[in-house]
Amino acid sequence: MSGETDPPLARSTLDRAAHRRTDPQWLAQAWRRARVLVLDSTREGRALVRTDVTPPALVLRDAVELGSPGESYPLFLGVEPDGVPVFAVDAPLPQLPGTREANLREVGHLLCDRDAGIFTTALALVNWHLGHGWAPRSGHRTEVDEGGWSRVAADGHRVWPRTDPAMIVLVHDGMDGQEGRCLLGNNAGWPRIPGERRFSCLAGYVEPGESAEAAVLREVREEVGVGVERIAYAGSQAWPFPGSLMLGFLAEADPGEPVRVDPTEIAYARWFTRREIGAVLAGRPVDAGDGDRVVLPPPSSIALFLIYRWLDGHY
């Protein structure tokens, strides 16, 4: 991932063709010639990927082969550069030779730009629909409309997909070289794996009436008791687990300032040198401070993208 200019789930080649979402006739015709991603929300939003190619590739089915979508309302994702429409359906995964099930966390960083964009958008839409079967204003049942990009109740009240903005920040000391340091935390809610302790960037939701930069200041202060400055935006990506938009930042802090964790949020936090982070990424063991081995965020996360940016001196 070193040298990547975009976060791993911030890639796509689809034309979303939003003007087609309100054209039922076009959508019906498009379905008959579409490529379709089947993902199963009952299995963590897993989809099929091919096992005979490297890197892995999403399995998209021909709509003609699938036939009627049945109870799974087709979600219109967009149009490919070759003009073929792409849809997604939430349904049980078929058993196909030469394929395996995978979730976005596992393979998102390995997929090509086209497949990463399709999988990310499909999962975000499916997760939104799962949580919006009822109108928040009236309590009436809602039905899917506009190619999957809205839901409407019998009284006409309509809701559209929303994402929850969240900030994530790599806090560092501003120093170059192998002894430059970054501050990472172990979230109190993460499950413990014997012999391992996962560390990641600090993160939190942007609150109503708050800017993303203000959320960086507040969350870092709340979680580890440290003040930051020189906040720099680094990029964003969707994180559809179930529906966040992660706004990535880097920010400086004084490593001499005491780290005081909020135990309801952070179980443990500490400063790491570039030498230590480089060792972890190279597969060498680094002590978390209690005998456990340090583990870093998964490759599909923007957290690891930010760590690499800092490691490479881009901050």
Non-local CB neighbours of 194 within 8 Å, separated by 6+ positions = none
Q: How many CB atoms lie within 10 A of CB 175?
A: 13
Report pLDDT for 3.
57
Q: Is the pTM of this model over 0.95?
A: no
CA distance 48 to 304: 25
Q: Is 66 helix (H, G, I), strand (E, B) or coil?
A: helix
Lowest mean pLDDT among 50-64, 198-212, 222-236, 252-266: 50-64
Tell me the pLDDT of the chain averaged across its residues.
94
> Which whole number is the average pLDDT over 40-45?
94
Report pLDDT for 177.
94
Q: How does pLDDT run across 199-227, given as a tens digit for each residue?
A: 999 999 999 999 999 999 999 999 999 99
Report pLDDT for 4.
65
CA distance 275 to 13: 37
Report pLDDT for 192.
87
- Nearest CA to 33 out of 13, 70, 61 is that of 61
Please identify, in words, the CATH class of the domain defined by 18-130.
alpha beta
Look at residue 72 and tell me whether its pLDDT is greater than 80: no
Report pLDDT for 138.
86
Report pLDDT for 146.
97
Q: How confident is the model at residue 36 (pLDDT cuts 50, 70, 90)?
A: very high
CATH superfamily to which 164-311 belongs: Nucleoside Triphosphate Pyrophosphohydrolase (3.90.79.10)
Q: Is 166 exposed, middle or buried (0-12, 13-18, 19+ CB in 10 A)?
A: buried
Q: How does pLDDT run across 87-139, given as a tens digit for each residue?
A: 999 999 999 999 999 999 999 999 999 999 999 999 999 999 999 999 888 88
CB of 73 closer than 8 Å to CB of 148: yes
Q: Is 153 helix (H, G, I), strand (E, B) or coil?
A: strand
Q: Where in the chain is the domain with CATH 3.90.79.10?
A: 164-311
Tokens of 169: 């920040």
**Measured in Å, how far apart are the chain's first and last C-alpha atoms?**
16
DSSP letter for 156, please.
S
